[in-house]
Amino acid sequence: MLPHTHLNTGQTHPANGSIPLDFTSPYRASGFVLHDSGDSRREQGISKAGNRRVRTLAIEISWFWLRYQPNSKLTLWFKDRFGGGTKRMRRVGIVAMARRLLIALWHDVEHGVVPEGAELKPA
């Protein structure tokens, strides 16, 4: 059992429905902000609630991922979406990249699904 886990209320990530939000919230850089109105349920982005050090670490890992995994699907997405933008847009984009990378790494740990295009080196 991981320390500081929250009680799981059954609420899951809206994009894929498999990651329990209450369980992962302490370990993600910040929480998902959900809008739930009737039949409509949308993610509104990332709040800054959560551990600042973990959020900083997630962003640093994302910058390293961009540098050392240049052919991965996540890196290509980032370069396509934010590569030609201003410095400010790249800083905004790296937060989105960190969120996507954490989800991809979670899938690797839970299901053994390596992020698409990632190059693994033998230990």
pLDDT tens digits for range 65-119? 999 999 999 999 999 999 989 999 999 999 999 989 999 999 999 999 999 999 9
Contacting residues for 80 by C-beta, under 8 A, at least 6 apart: none
Q: Please, what is the angle between helix 52-68 and helix 73-82, to 10°?
A: 100
Mean residue pLDDT across the chain: 76
Pick the closest to residue 6 from 35, 36, 27 (CA basis). 27
This model's pTM is above 0.75 = no
pLDDT at 10: 45
